Amino acid sequence: DVKVTQSSRYLVKRTGEKVFLECVQDMDHENMFWYRQDPGLGLRLIYFSYDVKMKEKGDIPEGYSVSREKKERFSLILESASTNQTSMYLCASSLYDRNVEQYFGPGTRLTVT
């Protein structure tokens, strides 16, 4: 079974703090994705990576950056957290591209106060 894990289920940070969200997958998948999920807005893609050290912007990259130094790990960074970044963050991975089955992690609910 593919397993995608995220470093925290719940996180509370203050405005202006730097926030790191970590995601690890154990199936040697090439592609990894970061989404945020907000009520009524579905899943919106922030960034994705199709290879180590490679990254591509999704629909809503503003205010975020990512890092993929190793194949199994994809980090989402909020350089200076703001209250409008309060959301559920979901990491996913897939073998080829995002047009095939994606495996999701449990999610991190981030609250910025």
Partner 1 sequence: GQQVMQIPQYQHVQEGEDFTTYCNSSTTLSNIQWYKQRPGGHPVFLIQLVKSGEVKKQKRLTFQFGEAKKNSSLHITATQTTDVGTYFCDASKLTFGGGTRVLVKP
Residues of this chain that interact with partner 1 (CB under 8 A) are: 35, 40-45, 58-59, 90, 92, 98-107
Q: Are 52 and 68 in contact (CB under 8 A)?
A: yes
Nearer to partner 1, 44 or 71 (CB): 44
Q: How far is the CB of 77 from partner 1 (least distance, A)?
A: 20
Nearer to partner 1, 15 or 41 (CB): 41
Nearer to partner 1, 18 or 57 (CB): 57
Cα torsion through 93, 45, 56, 81, rounded to 10: -110
Per DSSP, 50 falls in state S
Q: Are 92 and 33 in contact (CB under 8 A)?
A: yes
Q: How far is the CB of 78 from partner 1 (least distance, A)?
A: 19
Residue 14 one-letter amino acid? R
